[in-house]
Structure 1
Amino acid sequence: MRALYPISYAVRLPVVGKYLGQLALLLAALTAVPLAVALFLGEGGLALRLALVTAVLLASGIPAIRLPAPAFIQENEAFAVVGLAYLLAPVFMAWPLTVPGIPLLDAFFEATSGITTTGLSTLASVEDKPPGFIFARAWLQWYGGLGIAVLSVALMMGHHVAARRLFQPEAEEATLVTTTRTHARRVLLVYAILTLLAFLILWPALGEAFPALLHTLAAVSTGG
């Protein structure tokens, strides 16, 4: 079946910018979680960096979503947005991860490894790292396992075809006009339920809530 919106133009920057703006707002919301944990644990340095990253994401995302852009997105633009999303997240999260004295390049590797759930690390040990840092790394891995595209479709974007194109860039018309957003929300719900169940099982098994949470975030995302 013919694709709904075949490639008619080169990548249009306003279109890419608009949807990257929405993804930036989503990343800002996701960054608020390790920020809250860092504040709770009293890790001021990490909290400050996460707060600045959140502010930058909001400051760039809010104007970007107001860019005038067509209601549809082409396949090449969808691929560009999804690909850039997986670059945008580790770029912004690398600086906060340098708090324990990790070089910036190593921190970028850690952030990329987390977002892509590869599980690779440049760190010989994490026992000497602050708990806020460990949580931030595990949190990156958790939402990376779910997928930024799935999160954005499920939580932020509307029912129109552009959102569906981000979720399935190669999908055809019959697929695009059905239940993409509903499917994404169901995936998110199942992911959240699995996370909760794993935490409830590991907490009594390990005897401590925080290590159980870290193991849960890594295990559910199948990191490594």
Structure 2
Amino acid sequence: MLPSAILDGIHGGQGWWVFAMSGFLTMTLGTIIYLATRNHGSQNLDIRQAFLLTTALWVLLPLAGAIPFVWGVPDVPLTDAYFEAVSGMTTTGSTMFVGLDEMPKGVLLWRGILQWLGGLGIVIIALIFMPVMKVGGMQFFRAEGFDTLGKVLPRALDISRRLLEIYIGLTVLCAFAYRIFGMTWLEAVVHALTTVSTGGFSTSDSSFALFSGPFSFRVGSRAHRCLSRSHISCLR
């Protein structure tokens, strides 16, 4: 949440405190959970515990991700904010928000970050927990001798670290490509985050249609507004 707070602060928005407080709250809760469970890290998970932990992750993490939406987006109920966070973290791409063009920049960036984290998070959770749960083809890991979480975790962390390096590299390249072709830095970064994660969140209600057509990205917004109003002559 820190990048969104910094972005809002740089642009003089009042939403920086939303992400600052949300970050403080989630960090505090995370620290409490860590301190309460740090002496149990060597215990192996059985199948029921693995299913419970995976379910809890997908239920509770979007709840934390929804906090900035509840505090930072006007007139957004908790259900809509939670739906948005779930859609982001699962890279579904559905949205309950309208008026994205006028939303605070920090909120737009946070939506992109949620999808970016969700895109990689699905892979990491699959690598770490699915072998324990004996799900589908992930039993291959068990056949290789990863019979417990203690054996799966070191290999999974190594694979996840390498995937993260590739993931970051692709995101940076994608952002620079979007920027070269005329997007603003915010548009380029957010669309890169959601492109690499195959999510689809955008900085505009028009999504990628805002940049479509034979016009450059820099005039895409004006072109879209003209077309949406059927004033074809204004494009000349």
The TM-score normalised by the length of structure 1 is: 0.71
Determine which of 11, 29, 36 is the counterpart of 1:60.
Answer: 29
Check if 1:115 corresponds to 2:89: yes
Structure 2, unaligned runs of 5 or more: 135-140, 201-236
Find the aligned partners of 1:218 and 1:78 in 2 and give their Cα distance. 29
Check if 1:174 corresponds to 2:145: yes
The equivalent residue for 1:208 is 184
Amino acid of the structure 1 residue aligned with 2:33:
A
The alignment partner of 1:65 has SS state of: helix
Task: Check 1:128–1:58 CA distance in 2 against 1; reply closer, same or farther (3 A cut).
Answer: closer
Report which structure shows greater RCO (CA 8 Å, sep ≥6).
1
In the alignment, is the contact (CA less than 8 A) between 2:128 and 2:156 conserved in 1?
A: no
Find the aligned partners of 2:118 and 2:105 in 1 and give their Cα distance. 20
Find the aligned partners of 1:83 and 1:149 in 2 and give their Cα distance. 15
Find the aligned partners of 1:167 and 1:47 in 2 and give their Cα distance. 38
In the alignment, is the contact (CA less than 8 A) between 1:32 and 1:54 conserved in 2?
A: yes
Determine which of 52, 55, 64 is the counterpart of 1:83.
Answer: 55
Task: Check 1:100–1:180 CA distance in 2 against 1; reply closer, same or farther (3 A cut).
Answer: closer
The equivalent residue for 2:73 is 100
CA deviations on 1:134-187 (whole Å, 9 max, x unpaired) are 111111111111116728x9xxxxxxxxxx743643342614457221111111
The equivalent residue for 2:12 is 42
Check if 1:69 corresponds to 2:32: no
Find the aligned partners of 1:86 and 1:69 in 2 and give their Cα distance. 22
Task: Check 1:74–1:134 CA distance in 2 against 1; reply closer, same or farther (3 A cut).
Answer: same
Check if 1:33 corresponds to 2:7: no
State how many pairs are aligned.
182
Alignment root-mean-square deviation, CA = 2.5
In the alignment, is the contact (CA less than 8 A) between 2:84 and 2:95 conserved in 1?
A: yes
In the alignment, is the contact (CA less than 8 A) between 2:115 and 2:199 conserved in 1?
A: yes
* Rg (Cα) greater in structure: 2
Task: Check 1:69–1:202 CA distance in 2 against 1; reply closer, same or farther (3 A cut).
Answer: same
In the alignment, is the contact (CA less than 8 A) between 1:150 and 1:167 conserved in 2?
A: no
Find the aligned partners of 2:65 and 2:121 in 1 and give their Cα distance. 16
Determine which of 144, 150, 154 is the counterpart of 2:118.
Answer: 144
CA deviations on 1:2-29 (whole Å, 9 max, x unpaired) are xxxxxxxxxxxxxxxxxxxxxxxxxxxx
CA deviations on 1:56-111 (whole Å, 9 max, x unpaired) are 22222223223342612222222222221122222122231132312222111111
In the alignment, is the contact (CA less than 8 A) between 1:145 and 1:221 conserved in 2?
A: yes
Q: Report 1:153-168 matches (<5 A).
A: 165-166=128-129, 168=131
Task: Check 1:70–1:91 CA distance in 2 against 1; reply closer, same or farther (3 A cut).
Answer: closer
In the alignment, is the contact (CA less than 8 A) between 1:73 and 1:165 conserved in 2?
A: no
Identical-pair percentage: 27
Determine which of 137, 161, 167 is the counterpart of 1:191.
Answer: 167
Find the aligned partners of 2:62 and 2:159 in 1 and give their Cα distance. 26
Find the aligned partners of 1:78 and 1:141 in 2 and give their Cα distance. 24
Structure 1, unaligned runs of 5 or more: 1-30, 154-163
The TM-score normalised by the length of structure 2 is: 0.68
